[in-house]
């Protein structure tokens, strides 16, 4: 029993000494932040990144909340992932992944929709992408709106996997009901009604119809009733 108590005392003393040594070293000016390395694919102003992160030049890298800085940067529109590493003696490395615009989304105005479902401002006016309509609100996303955006991204992804031609011709995803959407295709404005219960099967059948030349360049298709495809307005 005495040996056990003695061992525990030694362990606690070692832990205390380690904490004291860490605290003493972290106070050395040698570890004060003097250099920030930023790796980001897009041209984002490094000064803006540093300011947003809350990291302070001249303060110890061990006394600054790296996790909080990363979470703050992650809230920046257009940013998908952030990783921050301390580098001795006084440097911090910030690695950022940009969240690309996948679709346009119209609420009170036109936004870009990223893969992580963030609505961001459109800075590249040369982008040509399908637009999501039938949304409500002014950029604030309720659960139902989030689900619609999620469906829209997956619809576009599925089309790109099944048929690049159809994906390139897709011009609009319009949410006409809570569980249904109308897809519009160029050049003639073909309209396809799908239901979220079976939309992936509907997109597969749509690809087959297009390959067989049945889809055409005009008219409308109702693909909400399982295997049945109803064509109108030829």
**Same domain assignment for residues 226 and 113:** yes
Choosing from 80, 98, 116, the residue where a domain stops is 98
Tokens 């790796």 belong to which residue?
39
Whether 43 is in a domain gets the answer yes
Whether 189 is in a domain gets the answer yes
In the chain, count of helices (H) and strands (E)? 6, 12
Q: Which residues pair with 34 in a beta bridge?
A: none
Tally of domains within the chain: 2
Determine the pLDDT at residue 213. 85
**Same domain assignment for residues 112 and 211:** yes
Q: How confident is the model at residue 20 (pLDDT cuts 50, 70, 90)?
A: very low
**Same domain assignment for residues 114 and 197:** yes
**Same domain assignment for residues 128 and 163:** yes
User: What is the per-residue pLDDT across 178-216, written as a single tens digit (0 to 9) for each?
Assistant: 889 999 998 878 899 999 888 999 999 999 988 888 887
User: What is the per-residue pLDDT across 61-96, written as a single tens digit (0 to 9) for each?
Assistant: 788 888 898 898 888 777 888 898 888 778 889 998
Percent of the chain beyond pLDDT 90? 26
Determine the pLDDT at residue 188. 79
Tell me which residue of 62, 32, 37, 63 sits closest to 49, measured CA to CA. Answer: 37
**Same domain assignment for residues 147 and 67:** no
**Same domain assignment for residues 152 and 182:** yes
Contact in structure between 97 and 41 (CB atoms under 8 Å): yes
Spell out the alpha helix ranges (H) of the chain. Answer: 2-26, 46-53, 66-74, 143-162, 164-169, 199-211
Burial class (CB in 10 A: 0-12, 13-18, 19+), 106: middle
Please give the average per-residue pLDDT across 145-166, as a whole number: 93
Determine the pLDDT at residue 129. 93
For residues 170, 175, 179, 184, the Cα torsion angle rounded to the nearest 10 degrees is -30
Whether 15 is in a domain gets the answer no
**Same domain assignment for residues 138 and 228:** yes
Whether 18 is in a domain gets the answer no
Residue 156 has pLDDT above 70, yes or no: yes
- Cα 139 from Cα 137, distance rounded (Å): 6
**Same domain assignment for residues 156 and 109:** yes
Contact in structure between 30 and 90 (CB atoms under 8 Å): yes
User: What is the per-residue pLDDT across 109-127, written as a single tens digit (0 to 9) for each?
Assistant: 899 998 888 888 887 778 8
**Same domain assignment for residues 160 and 76:** no
Which CATH number belongs to the domain containing residue 190 in this structure?
3.40.50.11690
Contact in structure between 224 and 193 (CB atoms under 8 Å): yes
Q: In Å, how far from its chain's centre is CA 36? A: 25
Whether 123 is in a domain gets the answer yes
Whether 9 is in a domain gets the answer no
Choosing from 98, 126, 149, the residue where a domain stops is 98
Whether 160 is in a domain gets the answer yes
**Same domain assignment for residues 177 and 215:** yes
Choosing from 98, 126, 152, the residue where a domain stops is 98
Whether 23 is in a domain gets the answer no
**Same domain assignment for residues 117 and 218:** yes
Which CATH number belongs to the domain containing residue 63 in this structure?
3.10.20.310
**Same domain assignment for residues 163 and 214:** yes
Residue 9 has pLDDT above 60, yes or no: no
Average pLDDT, the chain: 81
- Enclosing domain of residue 52: 30-98
């Amino acid at each position: 029993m005495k040996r056990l108590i003695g061992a525990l005392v030694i362990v606690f003393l070692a832990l205390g000494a380690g904490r004291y040594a860490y605290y003493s070293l972290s106070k050395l000016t040698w570890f004060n932040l003097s250099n920030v390395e930023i790796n980001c694919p897009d041209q984002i102003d490094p000064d803006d990144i540093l300011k947003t992160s809350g990291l302070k030049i001249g303060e110890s890298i061990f006394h600054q909340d790296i996790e909080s800085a990363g979470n703050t940067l992650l809230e920046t529109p257009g940013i998908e992932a952030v990783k921050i590493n301390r580098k001795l003696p006084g440097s911090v490395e910030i690695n950022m992944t940009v969240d690309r615009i996948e679709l346009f989304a119209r609420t009170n105005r036109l936004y870009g929709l990223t893969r992580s479902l963030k609505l961001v401002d459109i800075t590249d006016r040369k982008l040509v992408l399908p637009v999501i309509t039938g949304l409500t609100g002014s950029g604030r996303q309720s659960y139902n709106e989030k689900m619609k955006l999620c469906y829209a991204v997956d619809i576009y992804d599925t089309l790109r996997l099944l048929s690049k031609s159809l994906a390139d011709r897709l011009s609009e995803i319009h949410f006409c009901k809570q569980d249904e959407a109308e897809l519009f295709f160029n050049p003639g404005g073909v309209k396809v009604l799908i239901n979220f219960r079976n939309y992936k099967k509907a997109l597969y059948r749509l690809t087959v119809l297009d390959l067989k030349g049945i889809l055409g360049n005009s008219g409308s298709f109702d693909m909400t009733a399982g295997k049945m495809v109803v064509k109108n307005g030829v």
